Copies of this chain bind each other. A is one copy, B any other.
Amino acid sequence: MSSLHTISRSSQHELLQACLKIINPGDEILFIEDGVYYCCDKKSLSLISRDNYVYGLREDLVARGLRDKQDALVEVVGYHKFVELTVQHSKTVSWF
């Protein structure tokens, strides 16, 4: 019963903190839309347990001038993988 969590707003909205309160081991996080600013935010990323793998959506990173600036912890993926992730996990929790 693992979950994919999508986070789509910047850290100003504190969505990651809310998500981390209820995340389970094995769940994964995908940063999309304004959520991709988290991909360059070492301090926020350090709050995420190593049990939770982290992705960032390429299209949104490129649009915002963040491509190649993301932290080493973040795997950059496209929409193809986004779809696959929603299939791999039994449910998707969207934070917006």
**B-binding residues in A (CB < 8 A):** 12-14
Number of chain copies forming the complex: 2
Residues of chain B within 8 A of A14, CB atoms compared: 12
Shortest C-beta distance, A6 to chain B (Å), equals 20
Chain B residue at minimum C-beta to C-beta distance from A14 = B12
Nearest chain B residue, comparing its CB with the CB of A12: B14
Pairs across A and B, CB under 8 Å, 2 listed: A12-B13, A12-B14
- Inter-chain CA distance A14–B12, complex, in Å, is 8
Tell me which residues across on chain B come within 8 A of A12, comparing CB atoms.
13-14
Cα A14 to Cα B11 in complex, Å, equals 12
Q: How far is the CA of A14 from the CA of B13 in the complex (A)?
A: 9
